[in-house]
A and B are shown apart, each in its own frame.
Chain A
Amino acid sequence: MANAKPRVKVPKSAKAGEIITIKTLISHKMESGQRKDKAGKVIPRKIINKFTCEFNGTKVFECDIDPAISVNPYIEFTAKVTESGEFKFTWVDDDGSVYETSKKIEVK
């Protein structure tokens, strides 16, 4: 799998007060830490353990992710938008890496 590349889908524009659906997907191998390699050694856990979404600096959505989540975690949620602005998405990896992306939305 590619090195953690986030993909996000946010509508380009919405009406004020509209509830929009946001879809996110990040390519990540999500190694659970429960598998063993051919030599019988445990493959160390390496998953994305946290996901957050902020809108103009305010937290909209947040979740912890555990080892049972499969490869390329897909997260979908809704948000109510009242003004134009920018959604900022953050994924936190076990090794401390942070993957970020953002999307603008125009409210008419």
Chain B
Amino acid sequence: MNSTTLKWAGLLAAASIFAAGQAIAGPDNNKLMIDGKELVTDLKGPEGGPLEHIYSGWRFRASETQAFELDDFENPAFPAVDLGEELWNTVEGEAGKSCATCHNDASETMKGVRASMPKWNEKLGKPHTLETQINACRTENLKAEAWKWEAPNMLAMTSYIGLQSRGMPVNVQTDGPMQSWNDKGKELYYSRVGQLDMSCANCHEDNYGKMIRADHLSQGHINGFPTYRLKWGGLGSIHRRFSGCMKNIRATPYKRGSDEFIALELYLASRGTGLAVETPAVRN
């Protein structure tokens, strides 16, 4: 078989996967209420964007999965949030400081941080994600060791910081120095890659709401990360999810923290402008 035939085989397979799921269409109408507060899970898509209406991934999940997120006691991500809080107040590194030494009470100082990441950093000359920002703080100010992207401590810290923005609308900068990054992310989003020759858009823009085998396709917004995935049995970063998606289409994933994934993270965040931050969300 030559490569063209292989590609066609892949496309046909992909086409039949989508077709099988016409029975269930679109997101449900459930309301996401946490602690008596409603979180915005759908609104009109950002102007000039490809989606008329945007929906949080929560609206595509089974009601049993949704229920986990409704109550912080049931939400299995919260032991990690507790760990994050503990780490926030733990003195580490040669400078003898903790996060709290400079930033005091996270519930005030970290409000809105998750909603605006990735954020341009002049000194770095590129955008900071929450992970790189935390590590920059650790190595420069705390004089402590950087954490690995997917380390339990890193996930605990990103969920603890992310939680402080829960309910706030996602709002990232896409103009100025971020413009070129956003464009790069957009290009990646629409580029077909891998043996299945699919782009992000093939599933999450053209076919959201349909079933891809046993999975209900969402629009792929990233407003709930780090997310507790039942499949993972734990928390994972946005870039871990990207990696999984790329493996599914038989592509070689970029590295976590790579420029490609940072650009994609920015572009995806901008597609979900206005959705409430759900960190730490629970998904299947």
Contacts and interface: CB of A to CB of B under 8 A. Distances in A.
Contacts of B85: 2
A27 B73 contact: no
Interface in B47-81: 71, 73, 78-80
B147 to A, nearest CB: 16
Contacts of B78: 7
Contacts, number: 26
B86 interface: yes
Secondary structure dominating the interface of A? loop
A59 interface: no
B82 A5 contact: yes
A25 interface: yes
A86 to B, nearest CB: 19
B83 interface: yes
A15 interface: no
Q: Is the interface of B mostly helix, strand, loop or mixed?
A: helix
A7 B86 contact: no
Contact of A1 (B71, B73, B83): B83
A9 interface: yes
Contact of B73 (A2, A3, A7, A72): A7
Nearest to A26: B79
Interface string A19-61: 0000101010000000000000000000000000000000000
Interface string B79-93: 110110110000000
Nearest to B156: A2
B73 A9 contact: yes
Contacts of B79: 1-2, 5, 7, 25, 27, 72
Contacts of A72: 79
A27 to B, nearest CB: 4
B82 A23 contact: no
Contacts of B73: 7, 9, 23, 25
A99 B73 CA distance: 18
B106 to A, nearest CB: 15
Nearest to B152: A1
Contacts of B83: 1-2, 27
B249 to A, nearest CB: 34
A7 B83 CA distance: 13
Contacts of B86: 2-3, 5
A5 B81 CA distance: 11
Interface string B148-165: 000000001000000000
A25 B73 CA distance: 8
A93 B156 CA distance: 24
B254 to A, nearest CB: 30
Nearest to B78: A7
A25 B78 CA distance: 10
Contacts of A3: 86
Given A9-B71, A25-B79, 4 more contacts: A2-B82, A2-B85, A7-B73, A27-B82
